[in-house]
Amino acid sequence: MSAVTLPSLRPRPRPPMAAVRLLWHQIRYEQLSFWRNTQNAVFTFAFPVLFMTVLGLLMRGGTASSYFYGRTPVAYYMPTIAALSVIGTCYGQLAVVLAMRRQDGILKRVRATPLPAGLYFLGLLAHCLVVAVTDVALIIGIGALFGAPRPAHWLALAVTLAVGAACFCGLGVAVASLVRNAEAAPAVVQLVLFPLLFLSGTYLPIHSAALNSAAGMLPIRPFNQALLAALNGSGLDWMHLAPLAAWGITGAVIGIRRFRWNPRPE
């Protein structure tokens, strides 16, 4: 009798194009889910856009001053509000969404599909980047209406946004891995976020050298400064992009090591 050859149980390597198709499918799914939730989509863009509009109306015609580091008020706030919109999308919303999906059992079902975990998170990152770039484009347009200079280095802006989005997505995944349930996620996210926003000069310039030095070791101030450089004509600010990348890597490592796909037992 001839020997029967059994099929190998070793998983076959995934062809590159198949991986690309899976990634595209995941990005498309995330985008459709986002835009079909009209209320969520509208308010995602409404807050930073309204914030920038109100600031523009209040400070229109302001002159450059040392208080705003030699910039006009609108030129200072346009990058910081742009950074706020990226952080809100890539950190705040992502952490809450992951906590909700885990508690509802969605992540458990995703884990049982052929979609690799890496492609799932790459799809989330790409989706967050698309939303963040749309938001930043709206803020730049509103800032230009109120006299802020248009970006002179689009490549520097693109690189800064990509690094910032990756950094805060990594931190969002890390926070989601530490949150025990979906109800606690918004409180945990805001508790971490709001003190850092004020300390990093998002709402008001900080002129204390000690505070600026301390905030420079955290992720939000480097992102603010990198966007200020990219939007106000200085180009890529590697000095601030480096700590931003370091924080993103740290968040990704924590997220990978601690992330749970199944709901946590109460």
Residue 112 lies in a domain: yes
Annotate 48-116 with DSSP letters as a single string. HHHHHHHHHHHHTTPPPBGGGTTB-HHHHHHHHHHHHHHHIIIIIIHHHHHHHHHHTTHHHHHHTSS--
Contact 88, 97 (CB under 8 A): no
Any domain includes 121:
yes
Q: How far is CA 139 from CA 88, 153, 243, in A?
A: 14, 16, 25
pLDDT at site 1: 47
Q: Does the residue 179 lie in any domain?
A: yes
pLDDT in tens, 74-101: 889 999 999 999 999 999 999 999 999 9
Is residue 154 a part of any domain in this protein? yes
Residue 236 pLDDT exceeds 90: no
In this predicted model, what pLDDT tens digit does every residue of 132-173 receive, in sequence order? Answer: 999 999 999 999 898 888 887 889 999 999 999 999 999 999
Q: Looking at per-residue confidence, does 264 or 176 come out higher? A: 176
Structural domain contains residue 157: yes
Domain, as residue range, for 213: 21-258
Contact 121, 23 (CB under 8 A): no
pTM: 0.88
- Is 75 a member of any domain? yes
Kindly state whether residue 3 falls inside one of the protein's structural domains.
Answer: no
Q: Is residue 175 part of a domain?
A: yes
